[in-house]
């Protein structure tokens, strides 16, 4: 290969590197351009969007090795986009902000080897409301016994439950079951909380799990369930709502739009909650309507595969 050919090849590689950097920046900034028609790839990208920033060091290394000004400048674009989208989340959480209510959300895992220890950790967190998912007939009495002293009011529907310091009324199931799901599947709950600051509609929800396989991002049931949950929230007669739940995706995922379009998320910081051993995504959420989330944070790991997430709310 002569010198001219080498120069041409080098220039081509630099342009390819620059093009990849620009593509990463565009997808990070505008994930909606990636359609969901094939394998729901758009939702997959949105679910793990913060991790797209890992492309920056991957692209930076060859740019530095090639000493390419074009490539180096191009790599700065996804860096700037990531900083603009997520940089503020690196700031410390403001847990001491003025608030009226502290709520806690936790998927306790139906295979939890230490439900009593998990319940004790949650009871000690100082929350006014505690929402739990993946309760089982065997573990439900354990949570009831441990949480009762500090949270004497509770309601359970199927595998989801709500414990409260304040009286609960009008507790009832919320139908979020996908049409194709049969059996004893009840994973939605609604109750009125009689707080000192007025009534609040509390929702607890556990949307269907997603699967990532050869056919892509399997979220059809989760998306269908989100539509039903959104309809219930839209029809809620009380102004104030707090939703606590394992929604099985991040708030960026377009599949959750029927819910996220109606509520304000408590999304300070990254707050990744799953998997507990090495959290990659925040799929456990606290969201509100006619109330303001002023702080949110994750608690230390329990024996579950999810981390608990807490939020302070101003009513």
pLDDT tens column, 100-142: 999 999 999 999 999 999 999 999 999 999 999 999 999 999 9
- Report the CATH fold assignment for 101-314: Deoxyribonuclease I; Chain A (3.60.10)
What is the rounded CA–CA span in Å between residue 56 and residue 60?
Answer: 6
3 state DSSP class of 219: coil
In degrees and rounded to multiples of 5, residue 42 shows phi and psi of -60, -45
Q: What is the mean pLDDT of residues 207-214?
A: 82
Tell which residue, 75, 50, 82, has the closest CA to residue 60. 75
The Cα 142–Cα 156 span in angstroms is 13
Phi, psi (deg, nearest 5) at residue 33: -70, -20
Domain regions of the chain by residue span:
3-90, 101-314
Task: Supply 162's token pair.
Answer: 């709500």
Residue 61's pLDDT is: 85
In terms of pTM, does the model score above 0.75?
yes
Give me the mean pLDDT over the 272-277 stretch: 95
Q: Is the pLDDT of residue 68 over 90?
A: no
The pLDDT value recorded for residue 216 is 67
The more confident residue out of 72 and 7 is 72
Supply the mean pLDDT for the chain.
90
The band of 6, judged by pLDDT with boundaries at 50, 70 and 90, is low
Judge whether residue 92 has pLDDT over 80.
Answer: no
pLDDT digits (tens, 9 = 90+) for 147-178: 999 999 999 999 999 999 999 999 999 999 99
């Amino acid at each position: 290969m002569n010198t001219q050919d080498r120069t041409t090849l080098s220039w081509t590689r630099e342009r390819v590197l620059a093009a990849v950097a620009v593509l990463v920046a565009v997808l990070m900034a505008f994930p909606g351009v990636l359609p969901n028609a094939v394998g729901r790839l758009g939702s997959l990208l949105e679910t793990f969007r913060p991790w797209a920033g890992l492309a920056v060091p991957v692209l930076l290394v060859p740019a530095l090795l090639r000493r390419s000004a074009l490539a180096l400048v191009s790599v700065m674009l996804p860096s700037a986009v990531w900083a603009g989208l997520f940089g503020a989340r690196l700031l410390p959480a403001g847990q001491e902000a003025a608030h009226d209510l502290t709520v806690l959300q936790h998927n306790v895992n139906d295979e939890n080897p230490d439900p009593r220890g998990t319940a004790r950790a949650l009871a000690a967190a100082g929350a006014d409301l505690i929402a739990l998912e993946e309760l089982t007939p065997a573990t439900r009495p354990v949570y009831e016994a441990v949480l009762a002293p500090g949270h004497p009011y509770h309601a359970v529907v199927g595998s989801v439950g709500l414990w409260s310091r304040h009286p609960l009324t009008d507790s009832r199931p919320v139908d979020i079951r996908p049409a194709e799901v049969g059996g004893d599947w009840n994973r939605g709950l609604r109750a009125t909380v009689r707080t000192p600051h007025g009534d609040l509609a509390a929702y607890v929800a556990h949307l269907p799990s997603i699967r990532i396989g050869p056919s892509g991002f399997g979220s059809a049931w989760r998306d269908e369930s989100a539509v039903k949950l959104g309809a219930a929230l839209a029809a809620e007669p009380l102004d104030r709502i707090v939703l606590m739940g394992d929604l099985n995706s991040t708030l960026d995922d377009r599949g959750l739009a029927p819910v996220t379009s109606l509520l304000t998320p408590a999304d300070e910081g990254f707050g990744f909650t799953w998997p507990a051993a090495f959290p990659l995504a925040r799929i456990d959420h606290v969201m509100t309507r006619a109330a303001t989330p002023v702080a949110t944070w994750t608690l230390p790991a329990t024996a579950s595969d999810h981390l608990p997430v807490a939020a302070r709310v101003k009513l």
